[in-house]
Structure 1
């Protein structure tokens, strides 16, 4: 009998031990399952947030070549310390900003915008006109191929600011005839704008919609473009010299835009960014004479709009560089832009020459 109870006791101990092991195994499995669920949930969160992150960066800069050297290594000690002689135009040559810096001295940028880390290289024009820029001189695919090559040259010249190919499309065209609205402009067709919007998107490029105003207001013309400005890769430019007063004619009389009117556009675009949860945008303002932009001090970038003042005159390089200093460096808004005319500049500056300017242009457009 004693042996029977002993065997029974051993059997009970074995059963209890087995149950304990089973519970422990079950618990371990549950722990592993919970851990795996947590990892799966994390993967799901990453998968669901990834498209949103991509939508915030709707472009692809041209990667610098492997042999591209930092800008500082390609310039002499004098060039690092002083602006070009022709830019100084007889004045003090001391640089206001270090070589490579695009933000103009005395200004700030509170945005998460593109110009902090990248440079825009844009081709300008209207697809139905060979006289208004390179866009009208080439078929879209050939244009994009040439634009990418030109953009690559800037990425190689300054690897610290990879360049983004950009299409600057004239969307409202100033004309000498008052037209049916009496405002001396007509619009590029929606189908043409859609075509170049798709071209930019398909090539991971940016689209900048340019307005020429005529006798209309800048704010009204930009509002006409709201459909496209709601796209994350679309920005806006203002051609100030085509804005004329009553009794004047675009192309005959040189026009101008008041800084307060530019600021209305900046604030409208800023509100659109907030309302539509868009990436921060750029407003580019063209100027090639003193008169073209008045009361410039009224132009104020916002927390989600960067502003660049683009010098866009053509001619000999000494005059162009000195006027860039006058309009951009010495009368700053936030960032500088510089236009190059393939057929009118003498000579056509290379990217390396452009990047010697003080400050470095954040936007270079070609016409």
Structure 2
């Protein structure tokens, strides 16, 4: 996905090349995903109003080796002293939270979600394209091998917060033609979603379903994924920059969302978790410029959902750090995320450099 560096305080990066259309036909999603069967209950139990207990999480962090050292031991005293300066670029250089802390200053996490004690490291993309992420570059087996290797690097670097591998699959791909529904978005086939859901489950990993929206509403795209979001290891990501108005085209016009619309999706996922006895969920909100999300203060975590504001976009490392400072550090919601582009960043930041950020990203995704 091509992105252009913008001048000014809003870092960044404008998507310009989208997947013009996948080769496969969109598959009707009429096959129920695998889920745990519920046991029979008595009539008294059926009448109870309390939600059923949450099922157990199905992921497994990649544990560090016994030789792994604490995060701070990987940096010199000079590096530790200069970390806030290199990120702030003239702004306040004092760290908001201690090195390695992922929860943003002044925020809380009331869930039992995966980010309480772990970090998530994900690979992003679509299996039908090599231009919009790493998923299209490798077979599923090769992908998992590389993902686990990248994830282990974070566990070794920060053994107090071992990392969980995750696949971030684009479930609806923004495109430059209207498509059958006229929404400028192409749905990923049920076959592909189920294949990667099974791959994640077999490898104790998470599956994150990413929606790119086009001219459709957030809720329409999220509700189309409900049966997958009811699976214990499936979570949600929203690509805000791809949401355009009628008369606009994704990739040619910069998208925009209202924070209240994002919150509707968060509350929807939260209710799914609560009402279906699911493990607590994560919702990732992608952003790379302030103007893309208005009313951001409306975006809040719930008792069942952890929220990540993910700093997106490729380019010069110094600008990426500055963007994270502006969009995550300066506008705390709960957790920060950071995207790394293997082929388009200048240079590609190492895990050590990523974890210098303030706060340390709880979610790191690779494209």
Same fold (TM over 0.5): yes
CA change 1:325–1:139 in 2 (3 A) is: same
Contact preservation (8 Å) 1:86, 1:319:
no
Q: Which has the higher contact order (CA 8 A, sep 6+)?
A: 2
Residues 54 and 203 of structure 1: is their aligned pair in 2 closer, same or farther, counting only changes over 3 Å? farther
Deviation string, structure 1 residues 12-55 (Cα, Å, up to 9, x no partner): xxxxxxxxxxxxxxxxxxxxxxxxxxxxxxxxxxxxxxxx9995
Following superposition, the deviation at residue 75 of structure 1 comes to 2.5
Name the residue aligned to 1:96.
96
CA RMSD of aligned residues (A): 1.5
Alignment pair present for 1:217 and 2:217: yes
User: 5 Å matches for 1:322-333?
Assistant: 322-333=322-333
* Larger CA deviation: 332-341 vs 287-296: 287-296
The offset of 1:76, in angstroms, is: 3.2
The 2-side partners of 1:242 and 1:288 are apart by 12
CA contact under 8 A between 1:174 and 1:213: conserved in structure 2?
A: yes
Gaps of 5+ in 2: 1-51
Cα distance between partner residues in 2 of 1:83 and 1:261: 35
CA distance in 1, matches of 2:144, 2:55: 22
Residues 123, 240 of structure 1: alpha-carbon distance in 2 compared, 3 angstrom cutoff: same
Aligned to 1:249: 249
Q: Say yes or no: does 1:152 pair with 2:152.
A: yes
CA contact (8 A) 1:184 1:214 kept: yes
- Structure 1 position 180, deviation (Å): 1.6
More helix as a share of residues: 1
Q: How much has 1:74 moved relative to structure 2?
A: 2.1
> 2:76 and 2:278 mapped to 1: Cα distance?
42
Q: How many matched pairs? A: 316
Give the aligned partner of residue 41 of structure 2: none
Q: 1:348-363 maps to which residues of 2 (within 5 A)?
A: 348-363=348-363
**Distance of 1:277 and 1:123 partners within structure 2:** 28
Q: How does 1:271-286 map to 2 (within 5 A)?
A: 271-286=271-286
Runs of 4+ aligned structure 1 residues displaced above 4 Å come to 52-55, 78-82
The more displaced of 70-79 and 204-213 is 70-79
Verify the 8 A CA contact 1:172 1:186 in the aligned structure 2.
Answer: yes
The alpha-carbon deviation at position 57 of structure 1 amounts to 2.2
Q: Secondary structure at the match of 2:115?
A: helix
Kept in 1, the 8 Å contact 2:270–2:302? The answer is yes
Deviations 1:80-130 (A, max 9, x none): 466343311122321000111100001111111111100000000000011
Q: Answer with 1 or 2: which has the greater Rg.
A: 1
Structure 2 counterpart of 1:83: 83
Within 1, Cα distance between the matches of 2:67 and 2:223?
Answer: 45
**Where do residues 48-67 of structure 1 align in structure 2 (5 Å cutoff)?**
55-67=55-67
Alignment partners' CA distance in 2, 1:117 and 1:96: 20
Partner-residue secondary structure (3-state), 1:250: coil
Gap runs ≥5 in structure 1: 1-51
